[in-house]
């Protein structure tokens, strides 16, 4: 699937009224996406919040599953582990998703998150497992 196809599929599934994210690149086992900045992403101390970062990681990993399995809107997050490693200054959230293991029942993935305000500084490292639908 192309980046635009993955992006359209996500917005279709969420019946999104606004642009949730832009898929910038899709390669086998790799996706890069950008979540546009919104004031609601901030927490006290003028940094991007944990939930905003989690949301970015979740969407990036979901895009990664979609890019491999097609319109698989029923893949479900089973487990997620997040290490927050630096304060994220206000900006877009850029996420790189990488497939660690694509099994029959579980997809295990990694997402690295950055703020566009400091694009060289990793702010969070996430690993997640998605349960894949059992094929009939």
Query: What does the binding site for its own copies look like in residue numbers (CB under 8 A)?
Result: 13-15, 43-45, 49-51, 54-55, 58, 73-74, 76-87, 100-101, 103, 105-106, 108, 110, 122, 125, 127, 129, 131
Nearer to its own copies, 5 or 55 (CB): 55
- CB 86 → its own copies: shortest distance, Å? 7
**Which tokens hold the place of 9?**
């599929």
Rg over alpha carbons for the chain, rounded to the nearest Å, is 14
Nearer to its own copies, 45 or 136 (CB): 45
Least separation in angstroms between CB 91 and its own copies: 18
DSSP 40-78: GGEETTTEE-HHHHHHHHHHHHHHHHHHHHSS-TT-EEE
Give the shortest CB-50-to-its own copies separation in angstroms: 5
Cβ–Cβ < 8 Å for 127, 58: no
CA 39 vs CA 33, 36, 103: distances in Å: 19, 10, 38
| Residue number, 13 or 90, with CB nearest to its own copies | 13
Q: In 3-state terms, what secondary structure has residue 39?
A: helix
Asked if 86 and 123 count as a contact pair (C-beta separation under 8 A), the reply is yes
Nearer to its own copies, 83 or 136 (CB): 83
Closest separation between CB of residue 4 and its own copies, Å?
Answer: 19
């Amino acid at each position: 699937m192309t980046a635009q196809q993955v992006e359209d599929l996500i917005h279709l599934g969420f019946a999104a009224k606004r642009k949730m994210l832009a898929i910038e690149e899709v390669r086998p086992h790799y996706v890069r996406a950008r979540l546009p900045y919104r004031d609601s992403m901030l927490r006290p101390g003028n940094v991007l919040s944990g939930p905003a970062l989690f949301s970015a990681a979740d969407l990036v990993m979901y895009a990664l599953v979609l890019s491999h399995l097609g319109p698989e809107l029923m893949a479900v997050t089973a487990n997620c582990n997040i290490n927050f490693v630096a304060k994220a200054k206000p900006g877009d959230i850029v996420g790189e998703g990488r497939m660690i293991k694509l099994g029959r029942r579980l997809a295990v993935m990694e997402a690295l998150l950055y703020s566009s305000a400091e694009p060289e500084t990793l702010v969070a490292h996430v690993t997640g497992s998605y349960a894949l639908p059992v094929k009939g």
